[in-house]
Structure 1
Amino acid sequence: MKPSLLSALIAVAFASAASLPAQANDWYVGGGGGVSIGHDLDDLGSDVDKNDTAWSLFGGYNFTENFGAELGYLNTGDWSVDGEQFSSQGATLSAIGRLPLGDIFSLFAEGGAYIYQVDTINGSDNDYAPLLGLGMGAQLTDWLDLQARYRYMFRVGDDPDNGKLGSGTDRWVTDVSVATLELVFHPNRHAYVAPVAAPMVAAAVAPVMVDKSFSLSSDVLFAFNKATLKTEGSSALDDLYQQIVEVNPKDGQITVMGYTDRIGSDGYNQTLSEARARTVADYLVGKGLPADRVSTQGLGESNPVSGSQCDGIKAKSDLITCLAPDRRVEVKVTGTQTEQTPAPVEPQPMTEPMDSEPAKA
C-alpha cells in the first residue's frame, strides 16, 4: 500500500467538505452494473479476453448541491490471459463534483482511489490505484435517480518493486476502465423538518369571525414536478404571511392544502401534493406562525379547476400548460379577529389573513 498519498487524499476530501455550508440531509445509496476493460492485458499474452461484467454498490452524502463524497465497492470481473485468470475487486473512495443542468439532469466528475485486491498467476496483492470518473444523472422522482458513469483506474495490480532487477516480482499490471448504469436512492432528499415557531400575539375586543382563503399557483411556488420553493415562490409566501399578520386572528387555524394536475399516477400525485403542502407550511411557520396552529393536507389530483377544457390534448408540453390551474396550493385561515389595534410590540401572529381573491405571486 501507499498510505501517505491515500491518507492525504482522504484528508483533502473531508477537509473540503467540512468547510462547505451544510444543507438538507441528502445521503444516498445505489448500485449498478456494466462493462469493464483491462486495457494493457495484450502486453501479457497472446490469447487475451480483456472484457467482462462489472458491478458496484455505493453510498454517499451531498454536502451541497455541487459537492459530495462517496464510498463504494467495485468488482471489475475476471479477465483471461493465456488461460490464466486476472480478477480485481475492492473499495472506492471519491470526492464528487456536480453541475446541475436544469431541474432533471446533472453532470458529475469524481476523483479518488480504488483500493483493490487482485488475483493473478503471480498470486494475490492489495494496493490502491488513482481513480477518475465522469457521469450524467437524471432525477426520475424526488427520491430516485438514474445515472451513467465511466471510471478509469491506473495500473491496477502494480507493486513498488514490479519488474525491478532481482526483486523477484513481475506482476500483471493494467489500466482498467468501467462503464456502468446505476440506480441511486435519496431517501431524505425532500425530508420535512418542522421549524421552531414564535408565539402568537393575541388581542381581544369585539371579535369578528375570520374565514379567508388564498389560492397560490404551484407553478409560481415550485418548478414542475418539484416540491422545493423557487425564489419567486418565497416572495409570494412573504406577501401571504404579511396579510396574515395584518388580520392577526385570535385562536386561528391555518390549513395548507396541496393539489396536483392529473399527469402521473394517483399515488405519486398524492405524495407530491403532500410534500408541497408541507413545504408551504414549513415556510410560514419559519416566518413566525405557531406550528401547532398549522396543518397540511395533500389532495393529489382531486378537485381540478380546469374541467374538461384540456381533454383531447395529446402533446405533453401543451397538456402541462393547459392543466396549470389544477396545480395549486390553497391556504385557509379561520378564527376570530379583534377591531382593537394590537399593543405596540412587534407581532408574531398566528397566520396570515386569507382573502377570497388569490394572493399576488
Structure 2
Amino acid sequence: MKKRAITILVLLVSLVSNVQSKSNDGWYLGAKVGWSNFNLLKYTELQSLKHDQNINAPVFGLFLGYEFNPYFGLEIENDTTGFTPHLMFQKSKENIQANNVQISTKLSYPITDDFRVYTRLGGMMFWENLTSKQDLTNVFSRHSLLFPSFSLGAEYIFNDEFITRFDYTWKSSVENLMNLSKPTLGDAVISFAWKFGKSNINDMFNTYSPETTPNKQYIALNENINFPFNSTELRPISYDKLKKIDNEINNIKSKNIYITLSGHTDRLGNKEYNQKLSEERAYSIKNYFTSHGISENKINIQGMGNQYPITDQVCKDIESRSLLISCLAPDRRVEIEVSADQ
C-alpha cells in the first residue's frame, strides 16, 4: 500500500512539473482530510455490510484538478481511509487501509468572485478491484464494484491562488442505487489546494522580458483589475494587485514609462451608460496611481464600454439574470498596460 501511495504522489508531482509553465490553464493541486462512515478496516466485506452498522474512520487524500471555466472542471483523486497499524500490532491482514481512486466532474456556481458552491459527479473504485480483470469485466453490471459518487460543497479562494473548501460525498454501489437503498459510504472532508495555473476568471500577475533592441518601446507588464456589478469601487484584493503593479513600475529601469488604462463593462445596460461606467472605472485606477506619485501625463484613459467582452461563448445561453451577472464578472474590468522605452 505504501508503495502505491508513493507512486501516486510521484505521479501528481510530475503532472505539476509538466504543466506549471503553462500560463493559460486552470490547474490546481490539493490535499484533503476528513471522516468516513463505513467499515473500512474490513472493507473486503463491504458488500455484506448491514445498513444499521455505523463504523467510522479518518480519510486522507490528494487530488489534481483542471478548471476549464468558472462553471466546469475535472478532478482525479486518491483517497486512503483508515489508520495504518504498526506491524507489531497488526493481528490480521484485514486491519489495513482502504485505498481508492476517484474521477469526477466539478460543476460550480460562483456566489462572488471568491466564493462558490459546487457539486461533483463521478465514480470511485478500490485499487484492488482496478487490478482485478474479473472486477473490471463486471464494471458495467448490476454487481459492479464501481461506486458512483455525488458531492455537495463550498469553497473560498484566497488571493486568486489558495483554495479552502468543505464538502460531503455520498458513494453507493450500483446495486444499492438500482434498489433505491441508502448510500453505502459517506465522507465529510475539508480540503486545501493551490492554483498553479491561470484560468479565465483569475487574473494572475504577468511580467514580460524586455527586448534587447536599444531605444525600442516594450511592454513591461499587463494586468486586469475586476469590479463588482454596476460599480467603480475597488475591492481589497484589487489594492493588493495595484500595490504589486506599483512596485513593479518602480523597478523598471527606464525614465520613460507609459500606462494605458482600458475600462470595460459587461453587456448589461445601455451603450451610453456602459461607456461612462467604463471610463469611471479607468479613472478610479488612475487616481490610485497618481496618489502614489505617478504623473498624470504618463497615464492614458480609454473607455471601451461593452465592446470587448471575454465571456461571449461562456455566457451566451444563460437566461437567469443573477446567474448571468455572476458569469459576466470577468468582463467588468480595467486592463492595465505598462510600457517603457529602453
The normalised TM-score by structure 2 is 0.45
The normalised TM-score by structure 1 is 0.43
Give the helix-richer structure, 1 or 2.
2
Structure with higher Rg: it is 1
